[in-house]
Structures are given as structure tokens and as C-alpha cells.
Amino acid sequence: MSRTIKRATPVQQRRPAPRKRQPVKRVSSLDRLVAALPVSQATLHRIATWTITGAGTALALVAASWIGVPGMIGGAIAEGASRAGFRVEQIEITGLHRMDRMTVYAVALDQKSTAMTRLDLDAVREKLLRYGWIADAHVSRRLPDTLLIDIVERAPAAVWQDKGELTLIDKDGVLLEPVKREAMPELPLVIGDGADREEPGYQALLAAAPALKPRIKAATWIGNRRWDLTFESGETLALPEEGAQSALVSFAEMDGARPLLGKGWLRFDLRDPTKLVARRPGATLAHAISDDGRPAPATTNAAKPHSGNEG
């Protein structure tokens, strides 16, 4: 009896399922540039927000002006920008040396609103120009939160004395600030009513005789028409109403050829353009000074004592 022997079917080996390919994440050039920036993602997000807000605010303001939207709506937009960060947080002042800094801050912040888009830059500049120290000012914004103020100050040129009051003035006679007698600066002193308005002419007078300029202590404006100069050595020089510069140059030349200052004279008088008359302390006669600096024979006219009101 025969039997059939069945062969075992070979077990088929299961092939592993193919792995799904993971997509390779590509990094763009922009992403690499952003990653290289020395700022955080949060900071970049804030900058982007400010930029978008600023652009939207600008477009809204332009649209409002074109279609005639009332100012209250424009104000609301500006205040919205202020809440988004566009408000004055810092004030940067440059060019300020002598004027009080807190005064400039007070002028800059004297606004109806601190929203950057509502600042009246021209008004700030006009208020600053009312102060004597400020010759010019440039006011601008730097978004999102900084107000920039660049100041051009005047330079003090002299101290003006009038009715016992002392005031610092510049070369054009602009009043800068009061001066305390115990804190007098090393500047020329101009005395008399109207001497401040004559400061430009006085500066031109000094420029005509630069050798004498450092030796002049004070200048008195007499009768609203001419100058008396007082030197460090104590002498007074009376200049004429007309031709004061030429007279001062002549005196400088005479003093250079044969010194007159510091030689015991009390007063020199050049109101007569043809001669220089001088007087010594306690003398009753005036002497005409010749070109060599020596006194000529005494004149017969008695010298009048000098007074601040002499013409």
C-alpha cells in the first residue's frame, strides 16, 4: 500500500515595507539672513509690527486728508499709533552748552499730545528761537519714539551795564542772560543806554585796532553818539562821533611808535581830528601830544574833569 508524502511548502519571507522618504526642509537665503542678525525673533516681530503700524497710520492720515475726514478722526488714528509705541519716549539734544537743558525739555514737551504723528515740529522750533541763547534750531522725529533737537547757540561777546544791571550779550547785541557782579566773565564791558544796540559797531571798532583790543577794559556809549574807551592801565580815550575807527587806528600807531598807555596820563581826547589832547592826574592844563608821543607846550584851555555824561 502506497501513500503519498506531501512536501512542505516553503515559507515565504516577508519583505520589509519600504520607508517613506522624509522631505528635506530647505532653508531659504532670507531665513539664513534673519538667523544671522544680532537680534532676537521677538525683537524682529516688534520691528515688523511697528513698520506695519506706521505704514498703516501714514496711509490712513493721507486718506483722511484727501477725503476730508474731520480732525477728530485723524487724532484718534494718531493716538492709536501712540498706544502702539509711536509716542515720545526720548528727547535727544545736541549743540547745547550754555543754555539750561531743562528749559529745552520743557519747550519740547509742551504739546497737546505725545503721539509722534501729532508733534508740531515748527511750533517747537519757533518757541526755542524766542530764547536769546538760541540762534537756530532744527527739530525732527526718529521713529518710533525719539524727538531730535539740534541747537545752534550764540557766543557771548560782552557784558552790557545799564542802570546798574549787568547782562551778557552777543556780537550783535542780542541779550543772553543776566550776570551777577560777583561772577563777571572775562569779557569787554560796554556801558550806557543803547550800548547793547551799538555792539556790532563796537566790534568793528575793535577789529580796526587789534593791538589795542586786549588792553581795552570797558567802553562807554556817550550821548547816544560816540564812545569813550577805558584801558586796563586806567586811561580814558575820547573818540569822535565821526571817524572813530580812523581815530583809534591813529592812536594805536602813536602808542606803537612811542608808548602812551601806562605812562601816567589820565585822559586822551581825539574828538578834534587834527590833534590828540592829553591830561595828567591833578593837572589843570591839557597838553597836545605831538606825533612822537611827547607833550607839546601846554594849551591855555583848562582841562575839564571827565564825567560819564560828557559829550
167: CB partners within 8 A, 6+ apart:
159, 160, 175, 176, 177, 178, 179, 196
In the sheet that 216-222 helps form, which strands lie side by side, from edge to edge? 175-178, 165-170, 156-162, 189-191, 216-222, 226-231, 236-238, 267-269, 276-279, 285-289, 295-302
| CA 143 – CA 84 distance, rounded (Å) | 12
Q: Do 263 and 127 sit in the same domain of this protein?
A: no
Q: Do 223 and 120 sit in the same domain of this protein?
A: no
| Per-run averaged pLDDT (10 residues), the chain, 311 residues | 54 58 56 56 56 54 50 44 65 94 92 84 94 95 92 96 96 95 92 96 95 96 96 96 95 94 95 89 67 49 38 54
Q: Is the pTM of this model over 0.75?
A: no
The domain total for the chain is 2
Specify the CATH number for the domain of residue 205.
3.40.50.11690
Query: What's the alpha-carbon Rg for the chain, to the nearest Å?
Result: 41
Q: Do the Cβ atoms of 247 and 229 come closer than 8 Å? A: no
Task: Supply the pLDDT for residue 116.
Answer: 84
Task: Supply the pLDDT for residue 112.
Answer: 82
Task: Supply the pLDDT for residue 43.
Answer: 54
Domain boundary among 153, 170, 193: 153
> Which among 257, 267, 281, 193 is positioned nearest to 236, based on CA atoms?
267
* Structural domain includes residue 94: yes
H or E element at residue 93: strand 90-94
What is the domain range of residue 124?
A: 90-153
